[in-house]
């Protein structure tokens, strides 16, 4: 039995293409792997604060020296990191906002990219500790950006995931969604077909 962790980051609860792709993924995955456990964390519902002094202090100070805010920040980071550590498969649903990922997803990454926990520093540089995991990234984009200099989603997420040891990463882009009905239909159907093939 595998553990699947799904991270939703769309600000929209309705009409979200990334959420539609996530629903497709979960449905297809559970049909093919009914024994697997799928956990969904919705960053629009359970918002994760941006990196701040309380979180930094919560990581660095001994527990008996932490303020209540620092203890709460450390506990939140531990919960999020624990979910990631337990997962065999990670699914990131990431609409493109202003050429990049939602700030909510960046905040989640800031909580789980942790020295000594998900990566470590060595004499030859940082080394990821989460080897053996698979990741799928489902994006929704108004234009067509794959392979262009304007795509700051895929390169950043590939680097962030590789930094913690996750190298088996599959991206599925639903593109051209705001370029008219023909592009929208083509982009969405292509992405949904790719999601269906994963399971």
pLDDT in tens, 60-105: 999 899 999 999 999 999 999 999 999 999 999 999 999 999 999 9
Length of the chain: 199
Between CA 139 and CA 147 the distance in angstroms is: 14
CATH number of domain containing 118: 3.40.50.360
Residue entry with tokens 């789980």? 112
pLDDT in tens, 30-56: 999 999 999 999 999 999 999 999 999
Q: What is the pLDDT of residues 105-136, one digit of tens each?
A: 999 999 999 999 999 999 999 999 999 999 99
How many domains does the chain fold into? 1
* Mutual angle of helices 53-60 and 68-86, in 10-degree steps: 80
| DSSP-assigned beta bridge partners for residue 52 | none
Percent of the chain with pLDDT over 70: 100
| pLDDT of res. 199 | 76
Q: Report helix angle 17-32 to 181-198, nearest 10.
A: 30
Backbone angles phi, psi at 93, to 5 degrees: -100, 115
Q: Given CA atoms 79, 86, 162, 97 in this order, what sign does their dihedral have? A: negative
For residue 1, what pLDDT is reported? 87
Q: Domain range for residue 160?
A: 3-198
pTM (2 decimals)?
0.94
């Amino acid at each position: 039995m595998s553990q699947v962790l799904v991270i939703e980051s769309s600000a929209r609860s309705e009409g979200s293409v990334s959420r539609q792709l996530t629903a497709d993924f979960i449905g297809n995955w559970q049909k093919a792997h009914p024994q697997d456990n799928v956990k969904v964390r919705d960053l629009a519902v359970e918002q994760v604060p941006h990196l701040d002094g309380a979180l930094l202090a919560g990581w660095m100070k001994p527990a008996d020296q932490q303020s209540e805010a620092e203890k709460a920040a450390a506990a939140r980071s531990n919960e999020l990191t624990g979910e990631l550590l337990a997962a065999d498969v990670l699914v990131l649903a990431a609409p493109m906002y202003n050429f990049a990922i939602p700030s909510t997803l960046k905040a989640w990454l800031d909580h789980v990219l942790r020295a000594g926990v998900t990566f470590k520093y060595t004499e030859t540089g940082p080394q990821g500790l989460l080897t053996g995991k698979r990741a799928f990234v489902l994006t929704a984009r108004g234009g067509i950006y794959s392979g262009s200099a304007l795509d700051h989603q895929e390169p950043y997420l590939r680097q962030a995931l590789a930094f913690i040891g996750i190298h088996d990463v599959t991206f599925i882009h639903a593109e051209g969604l705001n370029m008219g009905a023909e592009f929208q239909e083509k982009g969405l159907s292509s992405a949904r077909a790719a999601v269906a093939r994963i399971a």
